[in-house]
Amino acid sequence: MGKRICEALNCLIEVLFPDKKFCLYCGKLEEYRFGLCNFCYAEVLKNKMTNKILRQYPLKVSFDEAYSVFRYEKMARDIIIKLKYKEKIELSLVIAYFMKELLDELNLKFDCIVPVPIFKSKKSKRGFNQALAIADNLSRLTFVPVLDCVEKIKNTKSQTLFNDFDRWYNVKEVFKCKKDLTGKTVLLVDDVFTTGATAHYVSCALKECNAKKVIVLTFAS
Ligand SMILES: [Zn+2]
């Protein structure tokens, strides 16, 4: 279902059945939690990370902390695939709800939310940057502003084509920050965390612009 139709139907449903909405994942009309019906909500919880802080990297990394809500498997993976490749942009709201819950649980404080950028041609092909869509929704939930201040200045091959080690060379020196971030703690947001290479190099760009601290938050890893 298109986003507009979904929104319009949800408005109508709100009047008729105040507690019910369409699940943003499966479309079922039901009581609603984090944008999901009870079944989908319970299903995705099965992929929750037991240890939310990510610690293992092949190199010394430039970010200060990294967290992920889910393991990249089953429904958590499917949510990302539907968001990215099937243009179900409304799933970015589901992701933002879960991220907000984790931020509250860990009591993390930050001054701005920065999305991991994608290259211009990729953006025009896909129509949107999924990390920015997530950041915008997270900003609405946390009231912390989004700074879309990092640019991807070189196109790179998809990280999925490389093994863990080569991923670090594929995205080296391709990000540039356009804003001074002196004294700021940045929440760097992306859909997936794999080896940490992308997060590391974006974080390098943020620190070159004087960011005080970079906290990485992804939906799945
Ligand atoms: Zn559902």
User: What is the structure's pLDDT at 37?
Assistant: 93
CA 134 / ligand 1 centre spacing (Å): 19
Structure tokens at 129: 């940057």
Q: What is the DSSP string of 26-67?
A: T--EEE-BTTB-HHHHHHHHTTB-SS-B----SS--SSSEEE
User: Which pLDDT score, from 0 to 100, does residue 100 have?
Assistant: 97
CA of 151 to the centre of ligand 1 (A): 35
Distance (Å) from CA 136 to ligand 1 centroid: 23
Percentage with pLDDT > 90 across the chain:
61
How far away, in angstroms, is 218 Cα from ligand 1 center? 22
- Sort residue 116 into left (φ over 0), alpha (ψ -120 to 50) or beta: beta
Q: What is the CA(129)–ligand 1 centre distance, in A?
A: 24
Query: How far away, in angstroms, is 27 Cα from ligand 1 center?
Result: 6
- Ligand 1 centroid to Cα of residue 189, in Å, is 25
In DSSP terms, 67 is beta-bridged to 53, 217
| Average per-residue pLDDT for the chain | 87
The pLDDT tens digits of the residues spanning 59-113 come to 788 999 999 999 999 999 999 999 988 778 999 999 999 999 999 999 999 999 9
Domains belonging to the chain, first-starting first, are 1-45 (no CATH), 47-220 (3.40.50)
Taking the centre of ligand 1 as the mean of its atom positions, its distance from the CA of residue 204, in whole angstroms, is 39
Q: Give the pLDDT confidence score for residue 119 in this predicted structure.
A: 84
Low-confidence ranges of the chain (pLDDT < 70): 1-3, 6-7, 9-20, 58, 165, 168-169
